[in-house]
Amino acid sequence: MRSFAVALGFLGLTNAHLTAWHRGMYCLDGASGQIDLNTADPVTPLYQLPKSDWWFHHINKCDEFPPAPGEFLDLPAGGQFQVEIASNRAKTSLSYSGRDQSDWPDGGHYPDNYNVPSCITSPNMHTQNQSMAAGSAFAISYQSDIKQVTPENLVVFSVRYNTPWKRVARFDVPAAMPACPPEGCICAWGWIPDGCGQANMYHQAYRCRVTNPTSSTPLAPPKPPVWCEGHPDTCTKGAKQMLYWNQADGNNIFTDGLNLAGQPKSPGYNMKTGFADGAQNDIFVGPPASNPGSGASPAPPPSHNPSTTPANTKPQTQPTKAASQSRSARSTSVTSEPHNQPPKPTNAPAPHANPANSDPSHVSAPSVQSSTPVATERPSPRCNSRNGKRSNSKRNLHTKNRLRRW
């Protein structure tokens, strides 16, 4: 019975509040099943509801009306995207060709320094002026099915201080945002007013996708924010969940007492709960990693330098230790041999030229065996006149010895 009464009170607030409009949102046409260019179904606030009702605005079935096929909220990595914060679809560019829109969320006209000391109620922005607007945020889940989105995989990636204020609002996207699945991601917009009216909240769903991604580093699991006004060291660091507050169940932040200004504490998307303005660049599990599918330069191939080869592998051309020692020994023999070394005994065999016995001044030149026969020196006439004919074996030995001395 209590839930029914709360729902009636909820529906009775229709036209009173705000949400962020875009063609990629759920419930763009309303929750009736018909196209309603004048709908305000997504703007009704959420207060003291069970999580089954407030999560993605299920109280009036807004989460059951996805955007048209092919419609996405595009998130350019490292850039900005734009939404229209308004009290009714008719007050945006999405209805009647923008006929009823203005710079303000309700289609009205107000001074830029609009200020009401008690509370601005038209538009119902729950603030006294721009400087006191609590801030709003977008979060993303890398799930394509809205039913698979939970507080534990929905990460705040962008915050805009001092919103809601004017109709057009722009949010920054971290440059390292990875690509979504082919069917897209699920995003959410949230806002908790800072007093000045009922302490309610907003939770709107979108089908979204990251465009021009250059990194594949995933987002870290988000943690609940905490109240940390005046004590930044106690703020939740890194990826954070959205703020869920003042509901019958499912809350992730609890406050009591007064803030430093002497007002009742109201958690918002600002430094009182650890949220910086703009892109939230601390939400990733590590540094950006190149995304080959995005056109980024691929990683260079591994080096073939033996000094960088893993210890458990050996290049096929790497010499064995024994072979290296053998070549080292021969090299030492060549370079240490005296330049004017006497010839070896004449009774030693004389094989073909061996680099190890060559002139050390030629050690650096490669040894190439010629296919042309080496000419032998003919016997001198003196030897022939003294001894007459000499045996072939003696003549060859004499010739080889002369070649040795040469």
Asked if residues 191 and 18 have their Cβ atoms less than 8 Å apart, the reply is yes
Q: Is residue 392 part of a domain?
A: no
Would you say residue 104 has pLDDT above 80?
yes
Q: Is residue 359 part of a domain?
A: no
Asked if residues 269 and 135 have their Cβ atoms less than 8 Å apart, the reply is yes
| Number of structural domains found in the chain | 1
> pLDDT tens digits, residue range 171-180?
999 999 999 9
> pLDDT tens digits, residue range 6-20?
343 343 333 358 999
Compute the average pLDDT of residues 35-63. 97
Residues in CB range of 138: below 8 A, 6 or more apart: 156, 157, 158, 171, 187, 188, 189, 190
Residue 115 domain boundaries: 1-296
Q: Is residue 337 part of a domain?
A: no
Q: Please give the model's pTM, rounded to 2 decimal places.
A: 0.70
Would you say residue 34 has pLDDT above 90?
yes
User: For residue 190, what are the β-bridge partners?
Assistant: 137, 203
> pLDDT tens digits, residue range 152-162?
999 999 999 99
Q: Is residue 142 part of a domain?
A: yes
Please tell me which of 147-151, 338-342, 387-391 the model is most confident about, judged by mean pLDDT: 147-151
Please state the length of the chain.
406
The secondary structure of residue 60, as a DSSP letter, is G
The predicted pLDDT at position 303 comes to 36
Q: Is residue 383 part of a domain?
A: no
Q: Is residue 375 part of a domain?
A: no
Q: What's the pLDDT band for 297 if we cut at 50, 70, 90?
A: very low
Strands 185-191 vs 73-76: parallel, antiparallel or unpaired: unpaired
Q: What's the pLDDT band for 195 if we cut at 50, 70, 90?
A: confident
Q: Is residue 385 part of a domain?
A: no
Q: How are the residues of the chain apportioned to helix, strand and coil, as percentages rounded to the nearest 5? A: 25, 15, 60
How far is it, in rounded angstroms, from Cα 159 to Cα 252? 18
The two three-digit tokens of residue 399, written as one number? 């010739």
The predicted pLDDT at position 293 comes to 54
The predicted pLDDT at position 292 comes to 56
Q: Is residue 74 part of a domain?
A: yes
Would you say residue 288 has pLDDT above 80?
yes
